[in-house]
Amino acid sequence: MVARHDLATDPGLQEDLLQARRGTAFFARKLNELTDAQLDGGTRLPNWTRRHVVAHVGYNARAIARLVEWAATGVETPMYSSTEARNQEIDFGATLSPIALRNLFDHSAVHLSVEWRDLPDANWSNEVRTAQGRTVPASETVWMRTREVWVHAVDLDNGATFNHIPAPVLERLLRDITGAWKTRGTDTGLLIKVTDTTLTFGDTSAADPTIISGPLPAVVEWATGRGTTGVTAGHGAVPDAPQWI
């Protein structure tokens, strides 16, 4: 049997696809380390069990696959019919049997990977619309999935930390988050300095900013609202990060 390969030929896109698939494999490893009973345990997300996280990641793959199908066919296929439908889907998925929940993750990940594999070069620039209403090229779906699998692998609370996430993913994630803050105007007076790099984000024009500093993994952990370990603030206690999504 002849092996099938990605139709995408752009080196940057190929690297992005590899990072997304590595993140998927990492999430799968952390999931497979859990017993069925441990799926009922808590996570780093309020009010969500591990079941909710796995269901979300599985249905997210299906939703992103719909965007890739949209780019392939030109037929509009939104990620979700509504926010309410998305939430109901996750709540339902959390009630599945352990084997069904694991199969949801496995099968949806394979489906998405195949949709990416078979998307012709010319179609990667076709525009689709995210659940937040942003119009983006189909190539953006790769990053959308990358951040989901890497961050939610940490949320499983099974030994993964932000230190396990590759630096390029962390840096892009931090750029995304601080960019969202800037767009909303919620970064006023807030300056973020990454001590193990030369990266600086936030309100660089503030005369007396609150400076949040720390190594890249710790800063991203704080920026995503998942903890303050390893970061410091110039004026006392570390504040909560502005809302990201």
Q: What is the pLDDT of residue 171?
A: 95
DSSP β-bridge partners for residue 129 = 135
The full DSSP string for the chain is: ------S---HHHHHHHHHHHHHHHHHHHHHHTS-TGGGGSB-SSTT-BHHHHHHHHHHHHHHHHHHHHHHHH-----S-S-HHHHHHHHHHHTTS-HHHHHHHHHHHHHHHHHHHHT--GGGGG-EEE-TTS-EEETTHHHHHHHHHHHHHHHHT-SS--GGGS-HHHHHHHHHHHHHHHHHHTTTTTEEEEETTSS-EEE-TT-SS-EEEEE-HHHHHHHHTTS--TT-EETTBSPPPPPP--
**Each residue's pLDDT tens digit in the chain (245 positions)?**
445 789 999 999 999 999 999 999 999 999 999 999 999 999 999 999 999 999 999 999 999 999 999 999 999 999 998 999 999 999 999 999 999 999 999 999 999 999 999 999 999 999 999 998 899 999 999 999 999 999 999 999 999 999 999 999 999 999 999 999 998 888 888 889 999 777 788 877 777 888 899 999 999 999 999 999 999 997 778 989 988 87
Domains and CATH numbers, the chain: 11-160 (1.20.120.450), 167-233 (3.30.1050.20)
pLDDT at residue number 1: 45
How confident is the model at residue 244, as a pLDDT?
84
pLDDT of residue 2: 45
**pLDDT attached to residue 234:** 76
pLDDT at residue 132 in the model: 87
The pLDDT value given to residue 115: 97
